[in-house]
Amino acid sequence: MNRLVLKLEPNILAYGFFPAGKETPAFEGRMEGIRTDLSMGSALDQILSRGENGDYVSASRLLVESVALHVVAGGISFPSHAVATPAVIENLKAQVPLAPMHLPLVLELIESCFWHLPGRPVVLFFETAFFTKLPACEYLYAINTDAFTDSGIRRFGYHGLFHEAAGRAAERSLEKQAGLSARIVSICLEPHPEIAAVKGGRPVMVSGGATPLEGLPGQTSCGEIDSGVLLTLARKEQWGPEQLNRLLAEQSGMRALAGRPVTIEEVLLSDDADLLLAKQVLEYRILLRTGMALAAMDGYDRIVFSGCYAASGRLLGPWLQEKLPSIGTSNQSVWQCYETPLMQIMAEQMDRVLLDHSKTYRHSHASILAGP
């Protein structure tokens, strides 16, 4: 099946076209200026019209048989990936408060897909789906949620697609005795890095929180912080939510420690003196969270690195192995890098998701053709 994979980023629509049977895209790119210079429909139309001058994909609009759409957050309402049907879309609309900057754009993109690609199934891949299976002792906060109406305040992870795929790859590399569950420490090295403990294919711990801000410090995000700091800033500086969010999400993390914009990869791989503090802080926080993962699983069998900076694990892996309790022989590597890109992960899972939801999709086919 020919698959078009779409991923919304701030002001950008990234895309990749994966022909049937191919693991790598025939073409890919990024449309910038979404909703400032381009409407969602115009952006999608340009993607589908690519190659009109005799390119390999001159009939790309006709070649597309299914669409995969990346969704950051779906809450507990979406414990698995789903095909966009009228019922699913109505459910997704109810989740907008979870990600008010992202989900309205997702809904607009779904409608554009229905308009430009009538009859093609649109598969929604939820980053949070994997973490709906977290145990209560992990996802609950010790806070009185009775004061909020449908608050949905609980711990989630926000790189579920990477953790799930990398965890499966790590399990395949292990030779476990029958009946024993593999214990995987999954370290996703993205601009918002995240660590999860995955035991027997299920998450039991994650560094992410109710928002991606919790946990490890990122390229521009603060990571775990005492909530009292926010109250102090709000009181003393008279800062409102927008100013606080800008500080925590855009002006903190490695950028604050390095004194300039810098990537997670640069920090981990650099020996520059001006990045030493940022590197020490990041490595230390990763070590602490890895220790939490080990405690949640009573040990570990493998560490796996994923995300756009997964290759940095070649340096971070041996360092962590020296710090952690040894398993197996001392010269045996207990870490690996899973460098499959996110869009490829989504493309590879399309057939399975469509098969799982084939009955629901057939029953809703007429409604989908009519649009949401």
The domain 3-126+343-369 having CATH identifier 3.30.420.40: the answer here is yes
Q: Is the pLDDT of residue 367 over 60?
A: no
Q: Which of 257, 256, 259 is nearest to 247 (CA)?
A: 256
Mean pLDDT of 246-274: 95
Mean pLDDT of 183-192: 97
Domain with CATH 3.30.420.40 in the chain: 3-126+343-369, 160-340
User: For 2-19, what is each residue's pLDDT tens digit?
Assistant: 999 999 988 899 999 999
DSSP for 261-284?
A: ---HHHHHH---GGGHHHHHHHHH
**Whole-number CA gyration radius for the chain:** 21
Confidence of residue 52 (pLDDT cuts 50, 70, 90): very low
Mean pLDDT of 144-154: 72
Mean pLDDT, the chain, whole residue set: 88
For 212, which DSSP code? T
CA dihedral 167, 172, 173, 179 (to 10 degrees): 100
Are the beta carbons of 202 and 79 closer than 8 angstroms? no
Mean pLDDT of 13-29: 91
User: For 190-199, what is each residue's pLDDT tens digit?
Assistant: 999 999 999 9
Task: Kindly give the interhelix angle for 276-297 and 313-323, rounded to the nearest 10 degrees.
Answer: 60
Confidence of residue 54 (pLDDT cuts 50, 70, 90): very low
CA separation for the pair 150, 135 (Å, rounded): 20
* CATH number for the domain whose boundaries are 160-340: 3.30.420.40
Q: Is the pLDDT of residue 294 over 90?
A: yes
The pTM of this model reads: 0.91
Q: Is the pLDDT of residue 363 over 60?
A: no
Range of weakest confidence among 40-54, 296-310, 318-332: 40-54
Q: Report phi then psi at 6, rounded to 5.
A: -125, 140
Range of weakest confidence among 31-35, 157-161, 254-258, 283-287: 31-35
